[in-house]
Structure 1
Amino acid sequence: MSESFLENPYVILLLLGNFAFMIALYFFQRNIGKKSHRYDERYNKMTNRSKARSWDAMLVILTVAWPVVIIFDGISFSFWLLTVIYVLHSVTWLITNIYVSNQENKN
């Protein structure tokens, strides 16, 4: 573990607290949005398109970050972490593509 983490292990509690706060805030906001009918077909279409573009941009960011990590940090934990993230990104992309293709074929 890193030296800075060992000096301040309470940071994990802050991260967990922030995560719980964000989940609660999401459900609170979602509940208000449902009451005011914010989540219609247009919203869903725009959200799906923006998520798809974000996913495409993330693929480019990961492929650019990979050699940067190798140059500055070498083949170390950072490289393997980035590799695992890239592989998970690609696998989930494959799974969602298969799922969406199957849904389209049913209609």
Structure 2
Amino acid sequence: IHLSITPDIFHQLYQGMIKHMVTWCASFMDDAELDHCVHMLPPCFGLCHFKGGWSRLSQISGKERKDMVSILLGCLVGKVPSEVLVCYRALLDFIYIVQYPTHDDKSLQYLEDALT
């Protein structure tokens, strides 16, 4: 039966963890400052630029959430303590690795290493 229960990456990781990670940013910087950091990033092919920042978004699509993940760490550098960056990086590494199409002992070790 465990084979029929597949994780929903979008809802569990992107809508869950990433949503909370962005919310946690508020304890280090206000919405205006985060929006400014997001706005100042140079456009990158294939990623949403979020010209108005994130605070005004009411509904966020899956692609937008994934694009937020791609730029979140860059927005925090120099704005939050280094311990916070290490924590965020570990969680983001975990999110990327867990999306591998298959896992073996090596990838499971990568997951464990990401969180230690």
TM above 0.5, yes or no, is no
Higher RCO structure, 1 or 2 (CA under 8 Å, sep 6+): 2
As a proportion of its length, which structure holds more helix? 1
